[in-house]
């Protein structure tokens, strides 16, 4: 049994965050139907410009569409909307990532669909949310994390902010909060027998991820500054160090006993008193001793390779981590043991690898049940399930309603 088995999701998302949100729910058992627009040009592994076999190969590795079926429907046509209405009446969840106002113009918004299916859970992912003075503004992850106060805190104090991968707003702020909101709405529906609207904003999610970091601001106005706090690497007990082989090792000795373990192991007992203090949360190191400690650690870590340091530090109960490249990540014994790289059987390509499923449920574990489809691969199957006759489907294709 899968946790979300029997939950039917219509995935209207055109971009990565919505696709990832639906993938997370599909991994846990939801029946996800990806509804694509004709000729859609999204950031997807299966480029429609490639030959069919190359498309299929590229699609197989595009994990964000795993555990999904695909149909291509022109929702701008009346017949296309009728198909969507029929699907909506049988669905539990709709996920969309258009700019605010688009689904209303298409006549597939929550107000319209909830009249057909009062139990529907309708999740909209948008940059700034469905209301407010910014709701119609365009944007991407870098814009949202900038406005959320995240970007200004990433990087060195001597340089401009450093743009991270689009993990904060896109994947966490939107996709994870979207999956959480949908899951909670499903639980609520079990109690009320009513669906609801889930309005997820990328910027809201990014701000929510900063909850702990902003506690001090609401308490007494204290604010973090880029590159100047303990968790920014400003202090030598929590940071990144180059090693003999030109690679990097990280240490995270926030707790006094871990710092003491490191200092004793390195023969630097005189550094033990220089550990975390509350003022380190908001202020950069002051005094020559901190410079001495950092300089000393830099020189020490250059005497051995990254992997040698990792073994020695872990053996001495010091929090350490190797800075990996992707190929190293998926060869790591812990990653393999936790099944965070999995092999899935493909009908023509054999076994292919994908990233595994993060939450490990003891009773209802997630599963990759099917590989990503080609655009429109299941159009006929879905239409037949809705009661359309073969001749009707043929006519819909000829009219450009479905593909």
Task: Tabulate helix, strand, coil % of the chain (nearest 5).
Answer: 40, 15, 45
Would you state the structure tokens that stand for residue 106, as one six-digit string?
């298409």
Quick count: other Cβ atoms within 10 Å of Cβ 294?
A: 18
Which residues share a beta bridge with 229?
none
Question: Known catalytic residues?
Answer: 140, 170
- Residue 371 and residue 83: Cα distance in Å, rounded? 25
Report in angstroms the alpha-carbon separations of 259 from 214, 262, 269, 353: 26, 5, 10, 39
Cα–chain-centroid distance for residue 3?
20
Q: What are phi and psi of 322, to 5 degrees?
A: -85, 135
397 exposed, middle or buried (CB, 10 Å; 0-12, 13-18, 19+)? middle
Of the candidates 236, 241, 248, the residue with the CA atom closest to the CA atom of residue 284: 236
Q: Is 96 helix (H, G, I), strand (E, B) or coil?
A: strand
- Residue 265 and residue 273: Cα distance in Å, rounded? 15
CB crowding 178-207: b at 16 or more within 10 Å, else e: bbebbbebbeebeeeeebbbbbbbbbbbbb
Q: Is 69 helix (H, G, I), strand (E, B) or coil?
A: strand
Q: Within the chain, how many helices (H) and strands (E) appear? A: 16, 11
Outline where DSSP puts E strands in 42-172.
68-72, 93-96, 121-126
- Residue 225 and residue 145: Cα distance in Å, rounded? 15
* DSSP H helical ranges for 30-77: 52-60
């Amino acid at each position: 049994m899968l946790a979300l088995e029997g939950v039917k999701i219509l995935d209207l998302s055109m971009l990565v965050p919505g696709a990832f949100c639906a993938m997370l729910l599909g991994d846990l058992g939801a029946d996800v139907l990806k509804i694509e627009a004709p000729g859609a040009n999204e950031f997807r592994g299966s480029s429609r410009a490639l030959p069919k076999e190359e498309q299929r190969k590229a699609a197989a590795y595009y994990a964000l569409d795993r555990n999904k079926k695909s149909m291509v429907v022109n929702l701008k046509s009346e017949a296309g909307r009728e198909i969507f209405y029929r699907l909506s009446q049988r669905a539990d969840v709709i996920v969309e990532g258009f700019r605010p106002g688009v689904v209303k113009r298409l006549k597939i918004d929550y107000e319209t669909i909830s009249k057909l299916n009062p139990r529907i859970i309708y999740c909209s992912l948008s940059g700034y949310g469905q209301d407010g003075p910014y709701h119609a503004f365009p944007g991407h992850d870098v814009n949202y994390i900038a406005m959320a106060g995240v970007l200004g805190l990433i990087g060195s104090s001597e340089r401009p902010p450093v743009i991270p991968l689009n993990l904060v707003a896109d994947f966490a702020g939107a996709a994870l909060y979207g999956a959480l909101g949908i899951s909670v709405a499903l639980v609520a529906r079990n109690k009320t027998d009513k669906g609801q609207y889930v309005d997820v904003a990328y910027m809201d999610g990014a701000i929510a991820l900063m909850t702990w970091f902003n506690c001090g601001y609401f308490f007494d106005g204290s604010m973090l500054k880029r590159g100047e706090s303990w968790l920014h690497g400003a202090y030598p007990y929590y940071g990144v160090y180059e090693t003999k082989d030109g690679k990097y090792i990280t240490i995270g000795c926030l707790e006094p006993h871990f710092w003491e373990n490191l200092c004793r192991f390195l023969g630097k007992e005189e550094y033990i008193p220089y550990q975390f203090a509350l003022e380190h949360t908001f202020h950069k190191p002051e005094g020559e001793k901190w410079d001495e400690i950092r300089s000393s650690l830099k020189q020490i870590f250059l005497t051995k390779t990254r992997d040698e340091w990792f073994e020695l530090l872990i053996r001495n109960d010091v929090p350490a981590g190797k800075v990996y490249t992707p190929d190293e990540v998926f060869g790591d014994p812990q990653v393999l043991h936790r099944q965070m790289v999995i092999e899935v059987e493909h009908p023509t390509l054999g076994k292919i690898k994908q990233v595994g499923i993060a939450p490990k449920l003891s009773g209802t574990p997630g599963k990759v049940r099917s590989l990503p489809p080609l655009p429109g691969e299941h159009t006929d199957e879905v239409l037949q399930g809705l009661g359309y006759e073969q001749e009707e489907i043929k006519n819909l294709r000829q009219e450009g309603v479905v593909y």
